[in-house]
Amino acid sequence: MKILTVVGARPNFMKVASLHKAFKKYDKEITHLLCHTGQHYDANMSDVFFRQLELPSPDYFLGIGSGSHAEQTGKIMIEFEKVLLKEHPDLVIVVGDVNSTIACSLTAQKLHIKVAHVEAGLRSFDRNMPEEINRILTDSISDYLFVTEKSGLINLGNEGVDDKKVFFVGNCMIDSLVSILDFTESSDIFEKLSLGEEGYILVTMHRPSNVDPEDRLEGLVDMLNSISLHKKVLFPIHPRTRKNLERFGLLKKLSGNILLTDPIGYIDFVALLKKSDLILTDSGGIQEESTYLGVQCVTFRTSTERPSTVEEGTNHLVGEDFKIAESVVLDVINGNMKKGKVPELWDGKAGERISEILVNELVPEKEVVKS
């Protein structure tokens, strides 16, 4: 049995690391290959994650890089088809909601190769987000849909997906978080960034709707300058955001008590997240990681595809109005916090559940030898 798993962009690496570890138990039944599309390619957006998550070098690297949506998706499909025609895998696994996810699931299905989607069923109900289109399309053509939270079961049910294909397994991103938590204790990032005891607000921002239009980005810069009057702000800048800050001449306008850095590796980032007073973000995965860690998260978006982080966790969904976001941030640092709990099955074992289900589904019973 041959399984080919696809990674493309930064948030994919944590999810696949957990699966890769879980498949090792079945190395007699399953050959597990890894294909990296190269959607993210900078060392600090890709290589560092492979190293820290102990992922092997990919068996295939497509080197696609950046481009418009059609360009990126189309190039991935053309190159991925060649890999599939050479390897003839029994199953392709895709994770998350990035362009690599839809490109590779579509290519596989057109060659009648089964597809499993990890992190299925999430919906923001906002079709202006490229990720929402990727989620809907990938789910609609997948044979196995692995769901991280209860809302996913409801959404897929509402879309008429046969429930025999749907499995509630928990969260592979949390598996990786659990597995590296001990290493964060020895991170030297606090000394490297000269972070003292006074506390800080961590900020990440990269959604096109927040960082592509000049007026939105300018509003963001003003908001961060204003928040930094109350508490130190630490802002690791995503390449998309940096490019736009430079293009609009806004980088130099970030002033005050703001520490800017390049994107930060996984272990150091989780160490920083764990110790932060709060995180202000528009990321998807960080909403989940902060809920798991019990860190207050202020999400600068109008919707979330991860409602359990708001209903059960520590996530405050504040919309995209700068004044409202700023007032919620100040409220939280003044003590108005959410007491969250960890959603069901976010226990570090999602990868194990997925591998067990797939082995049972795909490998004839007499051949299963768990080592």
Chain contacts with ligand UD1 (rule: CB under 6 A): 9-11, 39-42, 45, 66, 97-99, 130-131, 206, 238-240, 243
- DSSP per position, 166-178: EEE---HHHHHHH
Closer of 20 and 40 to ligand UD1 (Cβ): 40
Q: Is 206 a catalytic residue?
A: yes
- Where do the DSSP E strands lie in the chain? 2-7, 31-36, 60-61, 91-95, 114-120, 144-147, 166-168, 201-204, 233-236, 258-261, 278-281, 297-299, 315-317
Task: Single out the catalytic residue among 32, 36, 206, 238.
Answer: 206
For ligand UD1, give the closer residue by CB, 42 or 321.
42
d(CA 33, CA 4): 5
Question: Smallest distance, Å, CB 48 to ligand UD1?
Answer: 11
Which whole-number Å values give the CA distances from 108 to 7, 37, 69, 114, in the listed order?
Answer: 14, 14, 19, 7
* Side-chain half-sphere CA neighbours of 107 within 13 A: 27
Helix axes 214-227, 322-333, angle to 10 degrees: 20
> Residue 7 or 333: which CB sits closer to ligand UD1?
7
Q: How far is the CB of 79 from ligand UD1 (least distance, A)?
A: 16
Residues 22-39, buried b or exposed e (16+ Cβ, 10 A)? bbebbeebbbbbbbbbbb
Instruction: Say if residues 49 and 10 touch (Cβ distance below 8 Å).
Output: yes
**Closest separation between CB of residue 265 and ligand UD1, Å?**
13
Q: Closer to ligand UD1 at the Cβ: 130 or 219? A: 130
Which CB atom, from 97 or from 326, has the smaller least distance to ligand UD1? 97
DSSP letter string over 272-299? HHHH-SEEEE--SHHHHHHHHHT--EEE
Q: How far is the CB of 76 from ligand UD1 (least distance, A)?
A: 10
Q: Minimum distance between the CB of residue 77 and ligand UD1, rounded to whole angstroms? A: 14
Q: Which residues are catalytic?
A: 206
